[in-house]
Structure 1
Amino acid sequence: MDDKAGMNEAQDQVRLSLVEAAIRLEDAGLNRGSTGNIGTRFGDEILVTPSGVAVRDLTPESMVLLGWDGGKIDEDQPEQPTSEWRFHRDILATRAEFGAVVHCHAPHTTALACLGRDLPAFHYMVAVAGGIDIRCTPYALFGSQELSDLVLEALEGRKACLMANHGMIACDTTLERAIALAIEVEALAGIYLAALQVGTPNILSADEMAEVLAKFRDSGYGRQAR
């Protein structure tokens, strides 16, 4: 197999993995229809889901290959990239440790984002996103550079964030890990909202969360949980 054929086969596999990931997110209730989007690093380029295509209509061929300037590599491809390509591009460009970005309109995280609230350290598993809390950005128009800039700020030292009046982003080294993190963050948001119905949840202190984060790093517990 020559290098070009090998590259084409590898790209086909990544394209298929994006379709499968989109289906998994819909089956898990984190997205529906054409909501949400996914991006992944592919060599010196980026593969993202297309704009306005329902999950069940996605095909490997409909995934859009972009350069770092946001331009389509195949200008003849009919599908357009997700309108959110900017934050996919910017996250992958500035966070070398990330290989994939998952954006969801999941019910609980979106409800919390519509309140403009961070997800605080009400449970130690909040540390799975890399810090003592999961931040929510201020509101900005979807697909805008302003939103991408706010996302980068909210993700500083984190692997997940909420976007006000919008949804959630989860990032990790691989697509599999990013999906698992998104599922975990959505579950945490659901528990937090349920706790708020009864009273004010106890919030772990910064020192207590620092102990959790250290234990995660030392034992690999957070990685194993995903």
Structure 2
Amino acid sequence: MTDQELTLRTELIEACRAMNGLGINKGTAGNISVRHGDGFLISPTGIPYDKLRPEHVVAMNWDASFTGDVLPSSEWRFHRDILQARPELNAVVHTHSTKATSVSVLGRDIPAIHYSIAAAGGDSIRCAPYELFGTQELAHEVVKALEGRRACLMAHHGVIAAHVSIARALALAVTVEELATQLLALLPMGEPPVLSEAQIAVVLEKFKTYGQQTPEVQEGLRHAS
């Protein structure tokens, strides 16, 4: 195992534990994957997060083969299919966070009630129709719901957030839970007003240079100012 792979395995384990610490997951319900080499690393099935060690993280190939006797998460199919379909995304976080899962039970998308929805890549967070967990049918629906997006809900199931790194995907999962909390607070008063596509388009553009940037982007911002 290379130092780089050990670092990724350790980061994945820390993120699994962080999901529960952040209150967006309970037990071993969620799972995390990250692109690595000619495949991806994924959390194992059924091992409590506080017991996870780097050797428990499963290295899978795109053909679903893996070595060792530790089984991967039962949701490996949608992790694989997302990473294969979206080369710009490197990590996938799946949680059963309470409020977002509640919205998924309603089978509804999260609309643009707050500008932070742009973190997910568009003016809504779609809800994929229900399919049995761990199936190829679910993976197919998830990839469709994520078109042009970095996050989606799965009806009667939970949340998927994907990004360029484990840390960014985990942060996005927290944002999805915040948006779901806001939506559920608003629904008793009726359908909430939403920001327009044009308004979200402006936010999406601003998000491209929001926060700390690479030296190249910083240089471009200096010239633009």
Query: What TM-score do you get using the length of structure 2 for normalisation?
Result: 0.90
Q: Which residue of 1 aligns with 2:217?
A: none
- Identity among equivalent positions (%) equals 47
Code of the residue aligned with 1:220 in structure 2: it is Y
Matches within 5 A, 1:1-226: 8-72=2-66, 74=67, 77-217=68-208, 219-220=209-210
Would the aligned equivalents of 1:30 and 1:106 in 2 still touch at CA under 8 Å? yes
Would the aligned equivalents of 1:128 and 1:222 in 2 still touch at CA under 8 Å? no
Matched residue SS, 2:92:
strand
Runs of 5+ unmatched residues, structure 1? 1-6
Code of the residue aligned with 1:154 in structure 2: it is A
Code of the residue aligned with 2:184 in structure 1: it is L
What is the alpha-carbon root mean square deviation over aligned residues?
1.5
Would the aligned equivalents of 1:48 and 1:64 in 2 still touch at CA under 8 Å? yes
Code of the residue aligned with 2:33 in structure 1: it is G
Change (3 A) 1:187 1:120: same
- Distance in 1 separating the partners of 2:134 and 2:185: 31
Matched residue SS, 1:125:
helix
1:195 Cα offset (Å): 1.5
- Distance in 2 separating the partners of 1:48 and 1:173: 16
- Distance in 1 separating the partners of 2:96 and 2:116: 21
Query: What TM-score do you get using the length of structure 1 for normalisation?
Result: 0.90
Matched residue SS, 1:66:
strand
- Distance in 2 separating the partners of 1:28 and 1:222: 23
- Distance in 1 separating the partners of 2:195 and 2:3: 48
Runs of 5+ unmatched residues, structure 2? 214-225
1:130 Cα offset (Å): 0.4
Q: How many residues are paired up? A: 213
